[in-house]
Structure 1
Amino acid sequence: MERLEYKAEIRWDGNVGSSARVREFSFRIDTNTDGHNVGPNPTEYLLAAIGGCLTVNWGRLIKKMRLKVEGMEITVSGWRDRKEPQLREITYKIRIVTDEPEKKILRAKELAEKYRTVFNTVGAEKIRGEVEVVRKPPAMTSPEKDRKS
């Protein structure tokens, strides 16, 4: 079995935040409640990681399936009860601009959800998502163009 290994090094800032280093990348982890608000909190990074996982998988599938996609935006949200430190629900919405058949897009969604490291680690049963396919309207001719013809 081939292993893929990951590592993050975290250094505490003396309050409630930290600096993280992953490979050659650095970023801050903090909170806007009792920290210095110099970076997202760990839960926000988790939501971003879920969105990033989706983006990587969708990007690979768009290439592999040769889909024509003009744009894609992903929003990931979660909520928890103040008294219980656990996200109760995580949802995502993908807004994709394409003229591809909906069947192909739904197949890409199915595959992206199947091969997702972060999702499978968090627990796929906790994450629900939907895809909104946005069709571009056909190009319209302008009255000025018609008059010049």
Structure 2
Amino acid sequence: MREYHVTARRVDSHGSEARTKEAVLVIDTDLKGRLDAFNPAELLLASVAACMLKGIERVTPMLDFQLRGIDISLRGMRQDSPPKMVSIAYEIIVDSDETDQRLDLLHKNVRKFGTISNTVADALELTGTLTRKISKA
């Protein structure tokens, strides 16, 4: 089993920070919100996106999958009572000349082997698509 370690601390009433290894992440914990940091819900979405990106990086050499870039957009829905995230929808756009079947294979691998996405999918509705980037002529 793999273990991860993160510490977090309150900086002041406007924000906090999380640390791991040599990285520091500013967290929006201000009751009024702040534009220069991720709030907890946005951190969850970013974690799912990071998991998908890392999964793609891991599987593309194994599949000999060629790509030029990847963009991911996520939308999370939160209910108020009790407060919790109830769904996350994502769109993965891959800039690649691979066939549609290979794009489907990449998406299946992303969904099957993502540590964070699998954990989240057990807790809420996680749906999405992986499509090819449309070239602008």
- After TM superposition, give the deviation of residue 15 of structure 1 in Å: 2.3
* Selected match of 2:42 from 41, 44, 49: 44
Matching residue's letter, 1:75: S
Aligned length: 136
* Selected match of 1:97 from 95, 98, 108: 95
Question: Which 4+ runs in 1 deviate beyond 2 A?
Answer: 13-17, 31-38, 81-84, 134-138
Identity across matched positions, percent: 26
Distance 2:67 2:34 in 1: 40
TM-score normalised by length of structure 1: 0.80
Matching residue's letter, 2:97: D
1:58 maps to 2:56: yes
The one of the two structures with greater contact order (alpha-carbon pairs below 8 A, sep at least 6) is 2
Q: Structure 1: which 5+ residue stretches go unaligned?
A: 139-149
Q: Structure 2: which 5+ residue stretches go unaligned?
A: none
Q: Is 1:68–1:98's contact at 8 Å kept on the other side of the alignment?
A: yes
The structure with the largest alpha-carbon Rg is 1
1:87 maps to 2:98: no
TM-score normalised by length of structure 2: 0.87
Distance 1:136 1:36 in 2: 35
Distance 1:20 1:69 in 2: 32
RMSD of aligned Cα (Å): 2.2
